[in-house]
Structure 1
C-alpha cells in the first residue's frame, strides 16, 4: 500500500491519501482492513474511496462524507486508472469546510496520482 500523509490541513481537518491494487470488492475490503490496522486510520472520521474495475464497473464508498467517493471515481476515470483503489482519509477538525472538502479530496487524489504515476 502506498500512502501520502499530511497532504492537506485546513481549519483543523487533516487529509491523507492511500492506494493499492484492487480488482474486486473483496480486494477493496482487504485494503481498507489493512489500512485500518494503523490506529490513526481506524480512528479517522472518514475513509472515502473509489475504484474502477477492469471491466469499467465503478465502486465507491463515502464513509459518511457524502459525494466524496464520486469525486474520486471521476478522477480515476479521467486518469484511465483501473483496478487500483484510492482512499482519501479525513480527520475532522471541528469546523465545517463546505464545498472546500471536495476540492481537498481532488487535491489528495491528484497528489497521489502524481506521486506514484499510476
Structure 2
C-alpha cells in the first residue's frame, strides 16, 4: 500500500467515520476495499457500500469501482445500482493522475445525488434567524475553550469552542475574535460552524468555509454526527507552505474534536496517530 493511499484512508475515516473505507474481509485480494458512502446531510440513513480496487500504482492510475457491496434494505430498490453508477461518474470527473481522488469523488457524488434528489438535501436549516444588519462584538471576552494545536508540514490548526444560545451571539463572538486577535485575523482560514436550538422547536445551523472549500460543511457534519447543540466552533489554520491534500480535512476535524472534548461536550477519545502538539 502506498503512503498516499494510507493517508487517504486515514483522512476519509476521520472525516466521515472510522468504517468509511476498510479492506474487504471477504476477498483474499489486499487491493480490494469496501467504501461505505456517507449519507447526504441532513439524512443519517446509511447508504450503499461499494467494492473498490486500488491498483498497486494508485494514484498514478485511477481506482476501479468493481460493484455494489451492499445496500440498506430500507432504501428504494435500485438505489445501490444508481449509487454505483453515480460514483463511477464522480471518479471520472475528479481523478487526476498522481493525485488521490476519493474525497473529491465523494463530494462530487453528493453533488450529483443532490441534483437528482427530490426534495433536495441540504446541510443548512432553511430559515435563518433574523439578525441585525451589523453584529456588534461583545464587550467581554467570549468563553472560548481552546484545543491543543495540531501541526503537520508546518501548517497549524487550532480550534475554539463556545456555548451559544442564538445566531446573533455566535456571530458576535466570531466578530470579537477577529477584532481582538490579530494572529487569528491574519490566518489563512477561520472555518466556522454552529448548531443552535431556538424557541418553539426551531433550530439553526450554519457554516462558513472561509476559502477552505467544503471544510465548513465537514465541521457541521461532525457536529451533526456528535449531536451537538447550542455550541459553535472556529477552526483556524495557518498555512505552512506545503499542500496537505485531503489530509487537511482530517486535521480540521481532529482539532475540532479535541476542542469538543476539552469543552466537556463529548467523551475523550484515544489519541490517534499523526497528532503533533505545537510549540
The answer to whether TM tops 0.5 is yes
Inter-partner Cα distance in structure 2 for 1:89 and 1:116: 17
Inter-partner Cα distance in structure 2 for 1:6 and 1:21: 18
DSSP 3-state at the match of 1:110: helix
Inter-partner Cα distance in structure 1 for 2:194 and 2:168: 12
Other-structure match for 1:62: 209
**Equivalences, count:** 118
Q: Which structure has more strand as a fraction of its residues?
A: 1
Unaligned 5+ segments in structure 2 are 1-142, 266-279
Larger Rg: 2
DSSP 3-state at the match of 2:191: strand
1:67-105 deviation per Cα after TM superposition (whole angstroms, max 9, x unaligned) = 111111111112211121111000011111110110001
Other-structure match for 1:47: 190
Match of 2:158 among 5, 16, 23: 16
Other-structure match for 2:234: 87
Comparing 75-84 with 63-72, which one deviates more in the overlay?
75-84
Inter-partner Cα distance in structure 2 for 1:23 and 1:10: 34
1:4 aligns with 2:151: no
Which contiguous aligned blocks of 4+ residues in structure 1 show a shift greater than 3 angstroms? none
Unaligned 5+ segments in structure 1 are none
Other-structure match for 1:26: 168
1:4-45 deviation per Cα after TM superposition (whole angstroms, max 9, x unaligned) = 355211111111000212333322221111212111111111
Inter-partner Cα distance in structure 2 for 1:58 and 1:6: 25
Inter-partner Cα distance in structure 1 for 2:159 and 2:249: 14
Q: What's the TM-score, normalizing by structure 2?
A: 0.40
DSSP 3-state at the match of 2:227: coil
Inter-partner Cα distance in structure 1 for 2:196 and 2:148: 28
Inter-partner Cα distance in structure 1 for 2:167 and 2:196: 9
Inter-partner Cα distance in structure 2 for 1:39 and 1:91: 13
Inter-partner Cα distance in structure 1 for 2:236 and 2:250: 14
Q: What's the TM-score, normalizing by structure 1?
A: 0.90
Match of 1:38 among 148, 157, 181: 181
